[in-house]
Amino acid sequence: MNEQTWVYYCRDKFPDDLEAKVMLGGKGANLRDMFGMELPVPPFFTITTEACVKYMGSRELPEYLWEQALEALAKIEKETGKKLGDSENPLLLSVRSGARKSMPGMMDTVLNLGMNDDARAALAELTGNEWFSYDSYRRFIMMFSDVVMHYSREAFEEKLEEIKTKEKVRRDQDISLEGMKWLVDEFKAMYKGHFGEDFPTDPKKQLELAIKAVFDSWNGVRAKAYREHEGIPHDWGTAVNVQAMVFGNMGDNSATGVGFTRSPANGDNRHPVYAEVLFNAQGEDVVAGIRTPQRASIDHSREWAANNDISETLRERNYPSLEEAMPGIYQELVYYAGRLEEHYRDMQDFEFTIENGRLWMLQTRTGKRTAGAAVKIAVDLANEALISKEEAIMRVLPEYVDLLLRPSFDLQAEKTLIAKGLAASPGAAVGYVVFDPEEAKQLAKEGRKVILVRQNTSPDDVDAMAASKGVLTQKGGMTSHAAVVARGYNLPCVAGAEEISVDYVNQQFSVDGLVIHKGDLISIDGFTGNVYKGDVPLIDADYHKQENLITLLEWADEIRTLGVRANADYPADARKAVEFGAEGIGLERTEHMFFNPEARAAVVGMIMAQDDKERQEYLDIMQPIQEQHFEGVFEAMNGLPVIMRLIDPPMHEFLPPYEKLLEEVINLRYSDPASQALAEKEKMLEVVNNLRETNPMMGLRGCRAGIMYKGLTEMQTRAYFQAACRCTKRGINVTPEVMIPLVSHVNELKMEREKLEDVAKQVMQEEGIEVKYKFGTMIEVPRAAVTAGEIAGYADFFSFGTNDLTQMSFGYSRDDAEGKFLIKYIEGFNTGKVDDEGNPLLEPILEANPFQTLDQKGVGRLIQMAVEDGLAAKPDLDIGICGEHGGDPTSIDFCHRIGLDYVSCSPFRIPVARLAAAQAKIRNDPQYQA
Amino acid sequence: MNEQTWVYYCRDKFPDDLEAKVMLGGKGANLRDMFGMELPVPPFFTITTEACVKYMGSRELPEYLWEQALEALAKIEKETGKKLGDSENPLLLSVRSGARKSMPGMMDTVLNLGMNDDARAALAELTGNEWFSYDSYRRFIMMFSDVVMHYSREAFEEKLEEIKTKEKVRRDQDISLEGMKWLVDEFKAMYKGHFGEDFPTDPKKQLELAIKAVFDSWNGVRAKAYREHEGIPHDWGTAVNVQAMVFGNMGDNSATGVGFTRSPANGDNRHPVYAEVLFNAQGEDVVAGIRTPQRASIDHSREWAANNDISETLRERNYPSLEEAMPGIYQELVYYAGRLEEHYRDMQDFEFTIENGRLWMLQTRTGKRTAGAAVKIAVDLANEALISKEEAIMRVLPEYVDLLLRPSFDLQAEKTLIAKGLAASPGAAVGYVVFDPEEAKQLAKEGRKVILVRQNTSPDDVDAMAASKGVLTQKGGMTSHAAVVARGYNLPCVAGAEEISVDYVNQQFSVDGLVIHKGDLISIDGFTGNVYKGDVPLIDADYHKQENLITLLEWADEIRTLGVRANADYPADARKAVEFGAEGIGLERTEHMFFNPEARAAVVGMIMAQDDKERQEYLDIMQPIQEQHFEGVFEAMNGLPVIMRLIDPPMHEFLPPYEKLLEEVINLRYSDPASQALAEKEKMLEVVNNLRETNPMMGLRGCRAGIMYKGLTEMQTRAYFQAACRCTKRGINVTPEVMIPLVSHVNELKMEREKLEDVAKQVMQEEGIEVKYKFGTMIEVPRAAVTAGEIAGYADFFSFGTNDLTQMSFGYSRDDAEGKFLIKYIEGFNTGKVDDEGNPLLEPILEANPFQTLDQKGVGRLIQMAVEDGLAAKPDLDIGICGEHGGDPTSIDFCHRIGLDYVSCSPFRIPVARLAAAQAKIRNDPQYQA
């Protein structure tokens, strides 16, 4: 036969050469898995994704599809002994979409399909519950009209309100039987009024419309936008699952439940299953949270009772576990859960229903979990030999490691939840509510903890956000300005807390009658989106107590080939870095040492010096300050390599800003024209004016300053090697490496290196100590990347300064861009397109902030060229990266692929980088692809 | 025999498989040529460059060299009948170095080698002039001691002064015979005192020492530095030419002369030769300029006499031409000159001597010439069919074309030459002398013409230089700070005029007793290095009268494949561009149109607008101003393509500077605190503060402004297409092209293009006119170059904005770099090395200013990538360049090689670019390499 197979019944053989998930979608494939494992799954059939693709062209069901669906339906009927639309034993169906990847914006589920007057009557008879039959009927009409026919749900909700008002009841379940009957009649009339034809009572017509609705939803605007954003191909299509309904509310011998094979909260596996059950209930009731669910195992039930101060007697009477109530079913469930975890080799989230004492498994999928649970489950599964260490490593998102190391709210503390928004940027923050961005900056300067609360944020607010401890907005989604900026600044943010109402005029926000004023304390949880009143205590994450994490990272260390170093400037940072597993320091910014007042005064003196002699006097003050720092860092690293970067920023950064000085000078000219203060300020103003630059980022800084300022980098080198020699004498191992920044032409490196290597040799000779050292350069200017082959001739190592390289490659001054256009570039522009609901669809220029995630196409291409040319010229060249990207997992994967030796990042990102580096190895090395 | 040939005698056969110029140097090869052509050349031999290379390793003459030299010497002796050191008929020799390329810093010439007491006596006898024989002797001792033995010439000069004082004479030739005898004795004694041994009287010893001295001079510090600068390999070595001396001072039947085959001043070929002759004289006397030389031909002689107001009678008596004095010799000379020009196919500069009625040719080389001569000679030679048109094109330096189009001093005008320095940067300038840079800037602002006079300049003076009409310095060479900066700014400069003495304290400079004060007028000629007192009239170059240049450029146009367009913003510029041969406008900067007061006020209003409506009102004022400009430009170009670049600079450039406003506001707060003026300034200050950027070059500008400022680029596009439609209606052809600047991500181009193309279509629809148009982008951000393949998808053309691309690739902010470090980078740094004379040798970081000459290794590589990727993605992409480099010949060659369609440069550079483009074609196309 030439007929293509569009429909697979659950007992039909699925061709070996096809991939079930591709053809049947995730949900369909999993249902088929369970069925194949002989778990009790209500019979079902799946319409393939190919059918959807075919449908999309013509908007007609492909030839033979309907016939095949009816054939499969007949098999369900035969298997269940029920019949669709039957007036005695009616078969009801659930119809669900299911693409290869779970996707918002698509039609989800229609339950109770097949319902009509006859079926309702039969259902009433079968359950002995007429009210329930009408309730189910009116629910089906609502759901079908809404989901399949796109008839706004609100009109139905109005009717529901109407009857409740009339009957003076508050809850749906308190509506009378008569009320329910009235509703069904009203709903039918509404449908006819709207569409001009009767509500389809023919169950097969219902089925056909539902199938088409699933297909159509694949091309809904929101689904399409989501696919574009996630890079999911538009031609995948979705499958449709049609399954016999089972009922958990057929009496006390029935129940419905959801469960996990391990705890999704913390990964515990002390109990055989972590499930919640409601007897005589439907799935919807579990979600609604009206009744208190019961636990599956006795132990878990007792634990739950103890935590909730419920006595054992009360528990046994009102909340018995499934293990107590239906021991056989419980054993069966535990067995199935075990089978599922073995099969999928991961923690599973499953749904089940007990209909008249018979257990049915309705769905399974890999369970969502918290960061802590993810780590524990991965390590446990590997220890249980269910998965390999490599798989364990791949199971944990690197960002989870970061989350586990952030302070969070004390779970035990008393909290008053006042609102819930989107968990837009993780982290917990406590602070005083401020609405005005200028005021936020001012208070932050004064050392106050501030939570900036806005309806939404704009580029003007970026500084204020950066100065705050956290941000709360009333409007906006996960890609709103506030969310994007907050993630960029690693700032906790709850966005789109629509329940609150921000009132700028009165400087307050209200939520459910509660008013929070400017200056009140609130706590926001960017992990959950929760907003609390008052000051919720924070607890620090203790790395050393996180045994599972430590184990996972040790496994990661065994596998990864990419080194991980730290960007650390102070001895304390260096010690932290070693604690977190750093294998060296990739970037020690020496200018940071000059920001203490004593050193800074010397720097200013050096800049303003009239001659070489005076300059040298100030350099002589600076030198011991540097030495002391260097010694502390060498000590902390004890032999691990330490890359010291010579002074980088423009000199005027050490002086007061020109505008401030100008203001002071003019004011003094009026107030105290003959003063010494004025004379001094005027002199300083002149110096600052001479040093001022139009574009300081691309001015006299980095090696250019080293070349132009006599004695400066010589002093730094002298201090560094003196520290190295002294440490050596004290028995501390040292591996000093000197990094020359901002090289754009090989001759700059050549000249600086020759000069400074002479200094190094001289110091070692004076001290009578020989230490092994290296000289290298940052590749942070596009021209350096393009001419890396030449530059390698004078460098022992390269370190990509991807912050500046990104700035210069894009031509973005970060200081200006983020406030002026970059955030808007990421957020997107209104180009006239709207989604299903008429909301404007924003079109972004950039997919991600290139200062957070390395731009592989542009900046990355330059880096790759530099790596290739550098290694061709000098095969033993050390190559690393020390921009912020060194701690970003996506960027780390890129660094691994192009063959870098290491990444260097802030100490707190080191655990993230260790995991990400191992994942990169596993992802890219053919030995793991078997 | 195994013996290598180190020495080639003039009659020896030179191997066919070797290149004479490589082995024998330029001078040696030319001598051999003349000898081969049977021109009367005194016999000589040449020691090869290979011998020099061999010598450099061991510092000893290679084996057999000396024997071969003596053999060759014997041949000279045989041929001349004279003998080295002979007491009756002594042979004297000249010894000269001669590398493949003429090179300063090497030993030049020793004349009269072979002189000793016996030879002197014989010479006295042969010439009948004892005084002359002693004069020659003392000259030889001086020259040999200085050039060969490095015994400072000054000590000998002192003796010379001593005898002149003693004899109370002023000129050397007035020294008595006794005095000369005394000098010879004294010189010998000095030599012995200095070296501890007698002056070498053995002529063979003299020869050996001279040969070694030539070899040694190859590795002199100055010669090495020169080679490094010019990229000449150190292992080329120099040849040594040893030739029999002939004498032009043996009586009235002898003479010496130099000549050219055509006029080196203007290329004239009305006379058979352009030669100057001195009867009974030596070569040195011609150079010394003591006697008035006579012309070779009668016509030339008469012309000369007429110009100098000399009567025909006087001329015939005192300054007869060679043609009159020795008609046979004259005919012979004309014949040889013709032979030389035919052989070398170029204007030749030659030296000759007539010894006792016999003509000897001593040297020939391609003659140096002025810019005008170069063009005329090239065109004439091609018209005479001596060279091809391609060769004619290659004969003229593109910079000569620029020189011919610059104003220069009126040659006829009265001039008072007061000093001579280096012609450091070409051009003529007249102005008031100013010494203080701040004062220079101030006066320039007031519209005064200023010549900045300094001992030397430093980075602090760059602004003042740029504001001046020309620069004169007392110190520094061709690569001094002043010279480098002046060439960069196209500013006439005379550097290192050591005769003048600059006195900052008294604000004056003095030269030879003359004092020039601040405020006096001077004229400086950067073509010649001449400094004149007072105001020398300037004359404009008239392109249309330069027929030879026009012919040459027409030939260039026939050959070149690279297009030449203009960067022109105003209709007047566009007309100039067409006049100079532009084939379109490659860059029309639209922001320049906003700098007129009316437009500027509208721009400020637009920037400060409170809402879209107000902004649109100002845009409506700006639009007709743009339209009018656009129409004028379209009219001038009549159908040639015009690339209009959308607004590029940051908006704050249109507003007053922040610091100035701040100053005004503070002052007003004291002087007029309640004023309206203060309120307005304060408002403006706030706006400017909001727009201020840390690095404006990389901030909100270019397409970013187009995207962020609603309505701005739409207005420009509307104006452009309205102008195009209107012109079309008036019968003017138009080819509008819109260029979107500063794209770093393809989506920027996509978004702007889609938006603006809609505007263009709307305008054309409104006007009922269809014009063909293009949309394209500048590639001026490194990331754009790296992702050009993607960008080409939305661009009809690329234009490389190499100014910004250079800034961002190097990470140089041009505004800051040139004043703060770039000039020093080019000038070089003192690294402790010194030259022969103990002067510090500066080591540069950059070979050239990358803003003048495209950096091919770095920026060029990016461009090449972009061209390749762009064409791969879109084969019919138009690609050009519109940075300053578009007018630089070296950069133009690069543009040709990488396959660009055109270069675009300022109107005055177009003739340069046309020639350079043709040269690039000839240089790189295999069809011309045959």
DSSP letter, residue A582 = -
**Closest alpha carbon to A623 in A708, A544, A721:** A721
Give the three-class secondary structure for A472: strand
Q: Which residue of A has its CA nearest to B820?
A: A700
Contact A829 B855 (CB under 8 A): no
- Find residue B785's DSSP bridge partners: none
Instruction: Provide the pLDDT confidence category of residue A835 given band limits of 50, 70 and 90.
Output: low
Three-state SS string over B123-150 comes to: HHHHHCCHHHHHHHHHHHHHHHHHHHCC
Is B921:B559 a contact under the CB 8 Å cutoff? yes
DSSP B340-378: HHHHHTS-EEEEEEEETTEEEEEEEEEPP--HHHHHHHH
Flag residues of chain B having pLDDT under 50: 1
Q: How much is the pLDDT for A307? A: 85
Amino acid at B161: E
DSSP 8-state code for residue B250: S
Q: Is the separation of the CB atoms in A326 and A343 below 8 Å?
A: no
How close A845 gets to chain B, by Cα (Å)?
Answer: 5
Residue A481: active-site member: yes
Most B CBs within 10 Å, among A665, A695, A713, A714, to test the B interface: A695
For residue A500, pLDDT beyond 60: yes
**Three-point CA angle A658, A660, A663, nearest 5°:** 105
Q: Could you tell me where the DSSP H helices lie in A294-397?
A: 298-307, 312-318, 322-325, 327-344, 371-383, 389-395
| Alpha-carbon gap, residue A520 to A533, rounded angstroms | 9
C-alpha A583/C-alpha A21 separation (Å) is 42
Residue of B786, B802, B803, B831 for testing the chain A interface, max A β-carbons within 10 Å: B786
Residue-wise pLDDT tens digits, A99-135: 998 776 677 788 899 999 999 999 999 888 898 899 8
Would you tell me which residues 794-813 of chain B have a C-beta closer than 8 angstroms to some C-beta of chain A?
A: 804, 807-813
pLDDT tens digits, one per residue of A38-70 = 999 999 999 999 999 999 888 899 999 999 999
Looking at the predicted structure, is the pLDDT value of residue A713 above 50?
yes
Mean pLDDT, rounded, of chain A: 92
Q: Is B861 on the interface with A (CB under 8 A)?
A: yes
Query: 510-539 in A: which are within 8 Å (CB) of B?
Result: none
For the record, the structure tokens of B770 come out as 């269809």
Query: Number of helices and strands (H, E) in chain A?
Result: 37, 35
Cβ–Cβ below 8 Å for A813 and B858? no
Q: From residue A109, how far is each of A48, A95, A754 by CA, in Å?
A: 17, 6, 72
A855 vs B670: CB contact, 8 Å cut-off? no
Alpha helices in B396-480 (DSSP H): 398-404, 437-445, 462-467
Q: Is A815 on the interface with B (CB under 8 A)?
A: yes
From CA B388, how far away is CA B382, in angstroms rounded? 5
- Hey, what are B830's tokens? 């003192």
Nearest CA of chain B to the CA of A889: how many Å? 22
- Across the interface, whether the CB atoms of A783 and B855 are under 8 A apart is answered yes
**CB < 8 Å to A808, chain B:** 698, 782, 808-809, 811
pLDDT at A231: 78
User: Tell me, what's the pLDDT at B589?
Assistant: 93
Please give the pLDDT value at position A837: 63
Query: What confidence score (pLDDT) does residue A2 get?
Result: 60
pLDDT tens across B788-803, in order?
999 999 999 999 999 9
- Per-residue confidence (pLDDT) for residue A720, from 0 to 100: 98
For position B436, what pLDDT does the model report?
93
Residue A348 has pLDDT above 60, yes or no: yes
Do B261 and B340 form a contact (C-beta atoms < 8 A)?
A: yes
Please tell me the pTM assigned to this model.
0.85
Q: Which amino acid is at B395?
A: R
Residue B3's pLDDT is: 81
Quick check: B695 contacting A, CB < 8 Å?
Answer: yes
- pLDDT for res B1: 45
Mapped to the 3 state alphabet, what secondary structure does A856-925 carry? Answer: CCCHHHHHHHHHHHHHHHCCCCEEEECCHHHHCHHHHHHHHHCCCCEEEECHHHHHHHHHHHHHHHHHHC
Task: Report the pLDDT averaged over residues A392-417.
Answer: 90
Single-letter amino acid, residue B327? P
Q: What is the pLDDT of residue A1?
A: 45
Higher pLDDT pick, B358 / A929 = B358
pLDDT of residue B140: 93
Question: How far, in Å, are A586, A623, A630, A641, A879 from residue A735 at the CA level?
Answer: 12, 20, 12, 5, 16
Distances (CA, A) of A113 to A82, A242, A682, A724, B11: 14, 10, 85, 78, 114
d(CA A572, CA A784): 33
Which chain A residues touch B830 with a CB distance below 8 Å?
none
Q: Which of B218, B215, B221 is closest to B234 using CA atoms?
A: B218
pLDDT of B486 reads: 83
pLDDT for B840 equals 75
Distance separating alpha carbons of residues A623 and B745, to the nearest angstrom: 45
Number of residue pairs across A and B with CB atoms under 8 Å? 198
Bridge partner list, A242: A45, A95
With beta carbons less than 8 A apart as the criterion, state whether B866 and B784 touch: yes
Closest Cα in chain A, distance from residue B453 (Å):
22
* Span B864-898, pLDDT tens digits: 999 999 999 999 999 999 988 999 999 999 999 99
In this predicted structure, what is the pLDDT of residue B292? 80
